[in-house]
Structures are given as C-alpha cells and as structure tokens.
Amino acid sequence: MKWRRFRLSLSEFQFECHDEAARAAAASSFTNRLLEEVRTVLTNWLATPEGQRDAYRPRERILPSHFASEASWNAYLAALRQRRLATLGDVMPDLSAVALVLDMAPDFVDPLRINFRIALENGGQAPGRREFADYEPSLFQVSLGVALPQGLHLRLQLDRVQPSYRFRDWLTYPAMGLNCGVELLPANEDIVRIGTTWAPRYSQPRIDPTAIEGLPVSYTNLADPTGDVDRLFRLPDHYDTWIQAQTLVDAGQGLPDDIAERERQAHAVDLEAYRRESGYIRAGIQLLLDSCNAARALGPDAPLGSWSSRDRRAAPWEAWLLTNEAFARYGGERYTEWRLFQLAFILAHVPTLASRMPEFADRFDAHRDEMSASLLYFATGGGKSEAFFGLLIFNIFLDRLRGKQRGVTALVRYPLRLLTLQQARRLMRILTQAELVRLRRRVAGAPFEIGFWVGSGNTPNRAAQGFGGVPIITRTTHSNDQTLLNPPSGDTDAARTARRAADRYQEALESYDKLRVCPCCGQATGMRRYPFQDGRVGIVCFNDGCEWNRENPPSPHRVPLPFLLTDDTIYQRTPSVILGTIDKLALIGQHDKTINAIVGMLGAARYMDPANRHLYMPRGARALTRAADEGWTRLKPPFSNGAEVFQDPFPSLVIQDEGHLLEESLGTFSGLFETSFESILLRLGSGILRDYVATWRPDPQSETRRPRLAKVIAATATISDPDRQLRVLYQREPLRFPCPGPSIYESFYAMPRTARRVERRGLAAQAPAQSRTEQFTPRMRSYVSIMTNGRSHTMTTSAVVSAYHFAITELWRALIEDGRTDDAIGTLSAALPPDDPLTPLRRMALQELAATPLGVRTLENLLDLLRISLTYVTNKKGGDQIIETLQTQVERDQRAAAVGDLPFATELISGGVTIAEIQAVMQRAEGSVQPGEPFPSLGDSLRNIVATSAISHGVDVDKFNAMFFAGLPSDIAEYIQASSRIGRTHVGFSLLIPTPHSRRDRYVVETHDQFHRFLERMIPPPAVQRWAERAIRRAMPSILQAYLCAVVEQETFASAGGDKATARTFTTASQVKSWADLSAGGNPGAIRAATEFALEAIGIDGRGPRRAGAAIHSDHYRTFVEDRVREILDIFTRRTDGSRLSNFWESHQTRDMRKPMTSLRDVDEGGVILAATRDPMRGRNVNLETTRQVMRIIRGQRLAARSDVDADPPPVDAED
C-alpha cells in the first residue's frame, strides 16, 4: 500500500471577529495544533506493529535483485523492517505552510457590510522530483465549520438573478465557498452554523400536474361522443378561483423597498396574463360546446365521421373526438391522459384553427391568432411535444372535416438532424394511429402523411437518386425481405448476384429507412419502389397481422407507411405534415425548380395525375405538352377552367421546437427566411390564390382582407429573454403558455409531488417553509459537484465513473447474481447520510422491499435503472480520452477488488457518429427485461455512454438515470438539456466534475444549490439579431429568386390565358433580363418591384400596429436593400446570358454577392477539397472512384451523399 490516510480532528477555535489580534492568535494556534495533531496521530500509528510494517523508509537503495521475484521482494522487506525501524521523520510531511486565514474587509458594493473570509490555505511549495514519490504535503477531504451569532451574519445576495416576488424565499444564501461548496447546518435559533463540503448537493423536486376533481383528462373519456362538454369548464373555473387567490398576495412583501413596488406592478401584469389565458381556454371550450350542440342536433343515428359533411359547424367537435381517439390508441396502457397544461394549451388554440372556417370566423382574435407567437415554455421532459402534437392532430382532422381534402396543414421544424429523426418517429407513431382512425371513421380526403424534409445527406432529394438497390413493389419474388436479406451461399452466378443485391439493399436500408420498425406493430420495416407513383420509395411493413396492413389491404400491392422520404414525393403528394430541419427553409429561394415545386404544393400546382393524384409544376412548352399528352388534369387557379383540389392551401400551423438553439447566425437567417416565406404566401394569397385562402380584416372598420397566416408555436425548455427572441425571429408579440406561477416550484398547472408516506408528510409539515419543498418532496434529480484539485481532470473523471460502476457491480453481484439481499440492503443502508431526517424512512423502505419477492424484484429493477451512465464531454477529443482512460481505470479497480475480468462496454455518441449508429446505441440502451426473465450478465450489458452535445435533445430513454459531466458545457442551456436526459421517469443522478482551471466551473461548485435552483435564470439571452447587414446581403439572392419564381412566374402563368406555353419562366439568366427590360417602367420599375418585395421579406416595417420586430433605422435599410437589388439585377441585365439560372449564380459569385443559400447554415464561403490524382508515397495513380467510395463510407452514407443543392438529378442507377 503506497498511501495511507489518517483522520485529523481539531477542536474548536474561538475568537472575537472584530479583534485583529485575536484573529491572528487563532490562526497561529491553528497551525501549531495541526502539526501537533499530525505528530500525535503518526507517532501512535508507528507504535503499532501495523505502523512498523507499512511505514515508508525513504532514501533506501533498491536493487533489481530485490524484486526479481515475489519471494525476494518479501525477503528484502522483512530484512529492511528488521534493520531499520520507521521513525516520525520518515513519514512526517511538511504541513507547516498550512494556515488558517481569517480576513475581514468592507464589502465592495455596500461598505456598511463586512466580508469575512475564512479559509484553509496550503502555502507550501510542491515537492521536488526527488521528494515527490516520498511525501504528499497536503490535507484531503477537508471540512471547515463556522458558528457565529445570528446578529453578526448577513446573508449574501444572489446577484445573477434579478429579484422577483417569485424567488423571494431564495434570493439570498448563507456564504460562498472557495474551492468547495457551502451548506447551512442545524443550530440553535441564535446561532448560525455554516459548513463546507467537497461534494455539494441540490435535490430538484418532482413536479406533478395539478389534478382538478371532476375534470375529464383521459383520452378515452374525452373521445366519448356522449360525454358532457360542460365538465371541461371546470378547468377555467378552477383557474379563475386560483387567480382570485393570487390577487390577495402582496408581491412586495419581504422585498427591499426599492423593488417592492416594481414587483407589485409585475404581479399585476401577471394577473392580467392569467386572466387572458383562462379566457382563451374558456373560449375554446365554448366553441367545442357550440360545435357539439350542432353535431347532436343531427340525431343519435348519425355516425361519427359524417357529422361535418351534414353540418360544417360540427367539424371542431368531431375533430376533438377523433383526436382523443387517436391518442387513446397511441398511448395504450402507458399513456392514458392529458396533463393539465397540455389540455389547456390545446383548448386555448381551438378557436385559432376553427376561426379559419366561415362558420366560426367570429371567434377570431387578432392578437392570439395573427399578431402573436405562442411560446410553449415548460421544463424538459414535461410533455411539450405531446402538447403541440395534440394540437397538430386536432388540426389535421379539422382540415379534413372542414373540406381541406389535401394539402399541408402543419410545418414542424427542428434545429438538429438527430432530433428531427427522433421526433419524426415519435410523431409517426401518433399520426399513424390518427390515419387508422380516419379510415375507420370514413373521413374523406387524402391520407394523413408526414413529409420528412431534411438535407440530402439524410434522404435523397429525388426518388430516382440513390435507391438502385431497392426492389420495386411489383416483383413477386420479393414480397418481403426474408429472401432478399438472406441470399444463398455458393459460387454460382445466381448466388453472387443475389448477394450483391442483398448488399445494395442492406446499404439502402441502413441509409434511408428512417423508421426501422413499424410504428404500429414494432416489427422491422423494409423499402420498396412504387413505379405507378412516380417511383416513390416507400417504407413498408411486411407483417400481415399488423393493424396498418389490415386497414390498408393490398390493392394489389402493399400500402406503404405514411412517411415520405424524398423531396419530389413530398411536393407531389402534399402531405398533411412536413417535418424537417430548419435549414430546409432556405429552399424557398434556392433553385428555380424547387421554388416552383414548393409553391405548387401550397396551392399553385398546375396539373394533377388522375391515376395517383400527384401534383406537378410543368414549365415551358415541352413540359406542358407532355402534361397534356399524359392526360393530366388541369388545376385552378393556374387554369381558369381547371379542377379545384385546394381549399385554404396554406399551412395553418408552424411548430418550431427547441427554439433556444435559434441564435447567432442560424437565428438571424431563420428570422429572415420566416418573413420571406410569409411574404410569398401573402403575395400569392392576395393574388392568384385570393379566392382559396382564409382571410381576416386587419381593420374592423374596413372591408380590406388579408390572407390568414399560420399560427406559430415555438416550444422550448431553456431560454432567456424569450420575448425579444420571438420578436426577432417571427416579428410577433410573445404569448407565453403556460403563464409562469407565483413561485419557483408552483403554478396553476403543476405542484411539487406529495409524498406517499404519512411519516414523510409529517416531517415536511414540521420543517421550515423554505426548506420543505426541496428537502421532503420526492426528488426528480439530484445534482452533485465535486472539486478536482491536484489531479488530472480526465483521470479524475475516469476514477469517479469507475468508482460509481464498481459500486453498481458490487450491488449487482450481491442482489441479482448471488441472491445476497441482506448484504445489498446493508450496503445501501450504511451509505445513507446519518444527519438526513429522511434516512430512517429510507432504511425502513429498504427493509420492506427485502421482505417480499416482489419487493426484491423492484429493488433489482431500480438497480438496473442505474446500470447505464452517461458521461458528457465538451468535445470528441475529450470523449476519446475518457474512453481510453476509463477502460484502464475500470480494469485496475476490478483487479484491486478481485472482481475478475468483467467486460465494461462503453459507446461513443458525437457529431461524427452517424444517426444509424446512434440509434443502434439507443436501442441497445432501451433493452428491457420482461417480468420473470433473468437479467443479462453485466459483462454483456451496456454500462456507459460517452457523449457530446449530440445527446442533449430528443433522447428519452428510461434507462438513463446517472450522468457525469466532465466539465461544465460552454452553454448553460446545453447543461440543462443534457442533464434532462436523466430523471425523466425515475430519480436521476447528475455529477459535475468541474475543470479545475475554469473559474466558471468552480463558481458552480461554490454556489452549487443556488446555481442549480435557478438554472434557467443563469442562461444568457440568445445572441440573435435580425438587422445584420451581412446577413441581409447574404440572403438577398435567395429573396430575389424567390420573388421571381414564387410570385412573378405564378402570376404570369395564371394570366397567360389559353397559350400557357408563352408564359414567362425563370429557368435561364436571359429570362431574368427579359423580365427586367419588359417590366412596367423598364429596369427601374423592375428594381422598384423587387425592392418592395425584398423589404417585405426582411420585415422592414414589422408586424401589426405595434410594428413588432421593425427596423429602428428603416431609411438606412431601405437604401441598403435597394442598392443590393440594383447590384444583383445589374449583373443579369449587363448582357444576355442563356445559361441556366443555377449555373449563372454559380459562375457570377463575388465576395459581396454569392449564389442563393442552400442551407440556413450556408453563411461563409465553403472550401473545396479535391482528391489527388497521384499518391506520392506509393508512386502510383489514384482511382477517383475509389476516393469517392471512401469518402462516402467516412460520411456514413455508402450510397449517394450529395449536398443540399437541389440541382438537376444525377444519372439514374444502372439497375433502376
């Protein structure tokens, strides 16, 4: 044993605080008593046989012959002990520089206050290289306690959180630590006791939804057509009663006079927000009641699904019932009811969507429905996704029932690709059930489908691109994947061909089957091409017993799942929901062909194939002739005599999740393209689509109407200053939902969980009000931090994670493998803190679990929930280092404890890992043991996942309940999101191992409980600015092209009369010149028209009478935009150029004018990497096709991995 620890106990030091001499004497006394205590402890130890056996003898010369074998080493030690007795000088470290510091100084802010710094400092020099292995002149796990009269102690003010009546009980803290945490210790009333801790802890209480007696919240009850709608009014009634109680609260009580009145005014504003929110909920219920009465007037024999066809006023009530039926089918036995805020959120927005119908136009509220964006702001894991998914499902049912037989209902956007895929699968499970309900209830219209709108690195932009290995659905030899994925062995040509086909198909599945399993039955899915649907690539379930296949019988082929993979199929089929990354918003101005396809999907489509009902946007004489030859149906409004297939074709809902990530350049471009997209819709809705879109009157005194735009829902759990961000991004006023409550842990919608045990509730009742919630409420997460002074951060992290897993291994072996339940219970009981008042109850609970087989199984399951840990690293390099050192540390700890060679499985998740690999890790982690089945061996189980920020969003795995942070993430919002991966269902444990040299990390430890209590308030405001000239300049080519292709070209085509072949298109640069030359007023007129649109697109005047988000210096930006438009058009009009528009942009790029953006992240000019044609090391040429294949493998896409540029399609695969 190289090191041995000794416990030192020093008695109290008493001194007069204000007496400098007394403080100096106490400090001197401390050093003397410390050294004396060390001498006493070591002398007593050396007097024992153990001490003489183990004590180190310095300055001994050890020869190789001494350790040639174990026997020779033992003989050498025995001789040394006999020859040389250990003395105090051999083992006594030099601790003379360890001092007690007692400093007093006036406070910098308030000179009437005195700051008292009490510290233990080691001023000694680090040992030299010769002495480093002999002595450790340090004290470890030091704790310092201070007791002082109550009258002398002034608590510190929390300066990083603005004082508010909501936090008045937590605005101060007893002291700040220095390289340690601080906690308040129990003491008499007239004494304050403060102690240090090297591992401060904060317990975050579990918050549960408020329960209102008699309010129906279960999906099944709310799906009952005979249900009593009036019972829903209990929600706003209860809310109004709660609001009345809040009016009696004095928000300024207990606050300093200078802020008390301000907080009373803030409280008054909050009360008004509560009343408005309650009013919105009540209005939604009243609309459902009126709709219900219309439906019931049809008589009891009218089947659900047919009411709105007989009376359109019944549509909202019918949609409400079908929505709850779909969620009941989706939730099964696991999810059975709405949380209170989810129910309130959906009800409050029912009038927003229903008021698009003429029958309910009087329910329109301009502030709620057009001028504001609803900020769905709730804690991570609190159910935000289900809230806006519930509103989305209601909306798609309502659209079908009100006559919108096809078209886009909602746009759902995410900022991260992994999150997009995870949420797409989540929504797919709900939407599939909604489609099955639609089929059962015989609701007319196109099927509910999701368009997966992401970059081509995830799914190809076209069905003809990259799917050569996917068989067509008509091939009877591949009715399922059984034979295709299990080719025969052997050397025959047929066997080799089958294996090649299997490899290509497997590659396609791994790259592009984004569902992997059927959302209905859970079995593996496959892919097939549908030639009669323009080559659509569909994801297929081959399980004949699956409910999807039973409700969609082959006719004559299997019906693919409602998930559209490629952009061209999305534009053709106009799915109900388009779900994708925010980056794809750049496509509204990227390529002339894509822009036409997008506006065609939104109501301007020119033709429809009557066989498959796909929409098309042929441009030019040749394409129009082909459309006529194919027998396609002409559509309104491009053709005045065409068929009508659209009603209110614009999306009525835009959902942006994880809004806090829309900052810096991404937030700036997101805002600019949001308003650009709205400008396109406003131009179309006021022009060729004016007779087909929902409208409203901005001025009630005027008959002028304006197209209705989508209701914007921005969801987030971590954001600071959200009001400003919403004004920048959407130029809308913020409508926060739910309104924040009157205290940090309580609101109308949620309260701290009530403990089950009577004894625990009794202890809580006796505790001070301030500590009651955090100490006695059942926990959601425990946040712990430790200091890492004097040791490598990576090594410390590995040692801590290894120690955690070693404890889990020991408990696992005792409880699960060896059946030593009593030993496990004893170990757990001994680890409980003796000074915690809940310790006796927890020991009692452990004994109760051990008393029954069911209890033991419960304890085993709880242990299994802690088997996997997440280790967060700030970058991939740190992850690689942790993985390497952790494996070594685990092996070392296991050998020391004689555990044996137990494998320790660790996985890495980072931005460099493909989505498929991440999903494989998630599936491995989610593996569960069925009741009665034995647990797998620890050596065969996943134990640890090292992850970067890639895991921070959308990962919801019950098995993740322990997390270690190797340093604090650079962004507090990231810390919140990452730590929220744990504790979502069960109690989570988060341990921060701060980076020692980071003052910011140490600050978290030093103010641990306050920091974690106010985590959300520690987030800096998002750095987002709409009016950045470089961003506007970068977006101008996209905006100009969007105007030409989405507005001018559509208006020109619709007004072309009978000869549509002469209608202007913008496929070449010369056509832009021709348009500018022939515009009213010539080229200056074209500049004015384009500038007017560009100013609208960037939102120069803001929105509404309050001009939300408007430019402050509008004249400057008007001139700036006009100059940019003139520069761009001058390039086009300088000379006639017949090159394709996309090529023209590419060839005429300059530093100040670049081609239209391909992504919202397309900010800086990208570099170009060219493969070398010769390998100088080997002296031979390089096959460029080999290089391409290698790069595809590196990127995780063995098939076509193209950029997001939506250019002409590549050549079709040979096997297509």
pLDDT tens, 483-520?
899 999 988 999 999 999 999 999 889 888 999 999 99
pLDDT at 1044 over 50: yes
- What is the rounded CA–CA span in Å between residue 748 and residue 181? 34
Are 667 and 729 in contact, with CB atoms under 8 Å apart? Answer: yes
Residue 728 identity: V
Q: Which residues contact 971 (CB under 8 A, 6 or more apart)?
A: 1019
Residue owning tokens 């000794």: 6
Taking alpha carbons only, the member of 420, 555, 406, 585 closest to residue 474 is: 555
Would you state the structure tokens that stand for residue 989, as one six-digit string?
A: 């444990």
User: Averaging pLDDT over each range in 213-227, 492-506, 1130-1144, which range is the top one?
Assistant: 213-227
Long-range contacts of 790-793 (CB under 8 A, 24+ apart): 790/138, 793/966, 793/967, 793/993, 793/995, 793/996
* SS3 (DSSP) at 378: coil
Give pTM, 2 decimals.
0.90
Phi, psi (deg, nearest 5) at residue 656: -115, 110
Neighbours of 171 (CB within 10 A): 20
Q: Residue 641 forms beta bridges with which residues?
A: none
- What is the rounded CA–CA span in Å between residue 773 and residue 745? 8
The DSSP secondary structure of 525-554, one letter per residue, reads EEEEEEGGGTTEEEEEE--TTSHHHHHS--
Q: Where are the alpha helices (DSSP H) in 777-852?
A: 793-812, 821-831, 839-850
Distances (CA, A) of 947 to 819, 869, 906: 34, 10, 10
- What is the rounded CA–CA span in Å between residue 778 and residue 203? 9
Are 734 and 726 in contact, with CB atoms under 8 Å apart? Answer: yes
CA 737 to chain centre: 18
pLDDT at 1202 over 70: no
pLDDT number for residue 378: 82
- The kind and range of the H/E element at 42 are helix 20-46
- The kind and range of the H/E element at 205 are strand 201-205
- What is the rounded CA–CA span in Å between residue 601 and residue 677? 14
Residue owning tokens 């029954």: 852
pLDDT digits (tens, 9 = 90+) for 1001-1032: 888 888 898 899 988 888 888 888 999 999 99
Q: Residue 808 forms beta bridges with which residues?
A: none
Residue owning tokens 């609001």: 243
* SS3 (DSSP) at 35: helix
Q: Residue 529 forms beta bridges with which residues?
A: 472, 537
pLDDT digits (tens, 9 = 90+) for 62-117: 899 999 999 999 999 999 999 999 999 888 988 889 999 999 988 887 888 899 99
Q: Residue 905 forms beta bridges with which residues?
A: 942
At residue 283's C-alpha, the angle toward residues 282 and 289, to 5°, is 90
pLDDT number for residue 133: 67
pLDDT digits (tens, 9 = 90+) for 355-385: 999 999 999 999 999 999 999 988 877 889 9
User: Averaging pLDDT over each range in 255-259, 330-334, 570-574, which range is the top one?
Assistant: 570-574
Q: Residue 960 forms beta bridges with which residues?
A: 868
Cis peptide before 1210 (omega within 30 of 0): no
Q: Is 706 exposed, middle or buried (0-12, 13-18, 19+ CB in 10 A)?
A: middle
CA dihedral angle for residue 36, residue 39, residue 45, residue 51, rounded to 10 degrees = 170
Q: Where are the alpha helices (DSSP H) in 113-233?
A: 219-222
Q: What is the mean pLDDT of residues 877-883?
A: 88
Which residues in the chain are classed under CATH 3.40.50.300? Answer: 777-1013
Taking alpha carbons only, the member of 719, 729, 658, 736 closest to residue 1022 is: 719
- What is the rounded CA–CA span in Å between residue 330 and residue 432? 9
Q: Is 479 exposed, middle or buried (0-12, 13-18, 19+ CB in 10 A)?
A: middle
Distances (CA, A) of 129 to 91, 124, 126, 134, 139: 17, 15, 9, 10, 20
CA 1042 to chain centre: 31
Task: State the pLDDT confidence band at 1214, using cuts at 50, 70 and 90.
Answer: very low
Distance in angstroms between the alpha carbons of the first and the last residue of the chain: 70
CA 473 to chain centre: 37
Would you state the structure tokens that stand for residue 758, as one six-digit string?
A: 């009577």
Q: What is the mean pLDDT of residues 520-534?
A: 94
Task: State the pLDDT confidence band at 769, using cuts at 50, 70 and 90.
Answer: confident
- What is the rounded CA–CA span in Å between residue 43 and residue 62? 26
Q: How many residues does the chain have?
A: 1216
Residue owning tokens 């001139």: 1119
Mean pLDDT of the residues in the chain = 89
- What is the rounded CA–CA span in Å between residue 220 and residue 1041? 50
In 620-694, where do the E strands start and end?
633-634, 653-656
- The kind and range of the H/E element at 118 are strand 114-122
Neighbours of 1139 (CB within 10 A): 14
In 293-439, where do the E strands start and end?
372-377, 410-414
- What is the rounded CA–CA span in Å between residue 210 and residue 749? 5
- What is the rounded CA–CA span in Å between residue 1032 and residue 962? 45
Q: What's the chain's Rg over C-alpha atoms?
A: 35
Q: Mean pLDDT lowest for which of 177-186, 389-398, 443-452?
A: 177-186
Edge to edge, the sheet with strand 633-634 lists 615-616, 607-608, 633-634
pLDDT number for residue 1201: 34
Phi, psi (deg, nearest 5) at residue 203: -105, 115
Are 1158 and 878 in contact, with CB atoms under 8 Å apart? Answer: no
Task: State the pLDDT confidence band at 656, using cuts at 50, 70 and 90.
Answer: very high
For the domain spanning 777-1013, the CATH number is: 3.40.50.300
Q: Where are the alpha helices (DSSP H) in 738-777?
A: 758-766, 769-776
- What is the rounded CA–CA span in Å between residue 446 and residue 439? 10
Are 656 and 630 in contact, with CB atoms under 8 Å apart? Answer: no
Q: What is the mean pLDDT of residues 308-320?
A: 95
Task: State the pLDDT confidence band at 790, using cuts at 50, 70 and 90.
Answer: low
Residue owning tokens 């918003």: 585
Q: Which residues contact 449 (CB under 8 A, 6 or more apart)?
A: 431, 435, 562, 563, 564, 573, 575, 576, 577
pLDDT at 46 over 50: yes
